[in-house]
Amino acid sequence: MYNWNVASPQTQSPIWKLNQAINFGLNGTKLNLRLVKKYWKKLSLDPKRKTFLQYILWGKLS
């Protein structure tokens, strides 16, 4: 993932990294599903993308 943001303690957060990777592209890397599930409620994702991921991860739509 390439990001132009300034390095700060926030950018080292796993939640921030997951948000950036999911919303702006993985750039050839894979998501850590354990982390995605762990921080699911704290992630601020695009609504359609979040619905799609929810279906992929848990097999249900809500």
| pTM, 2 dp | 0.72
* pLDDT tens track for 10-53: 656 899 889 988 888 888 889 899 999 999 999 999 999 999 99
Angle made by CA atoms 53, 50, 52, in degrees to the nearest 5:
40
Please check whether residue 21 is in contact with residue 31, taking contact to mean a CB–CB distance below 8 angstroms.
yes
How far out from the chain centre does Cα 56 lie?
13
Which residue from 43, 17, 13, 26 is spatially nearest to 51, judged by alpha carbons?
43
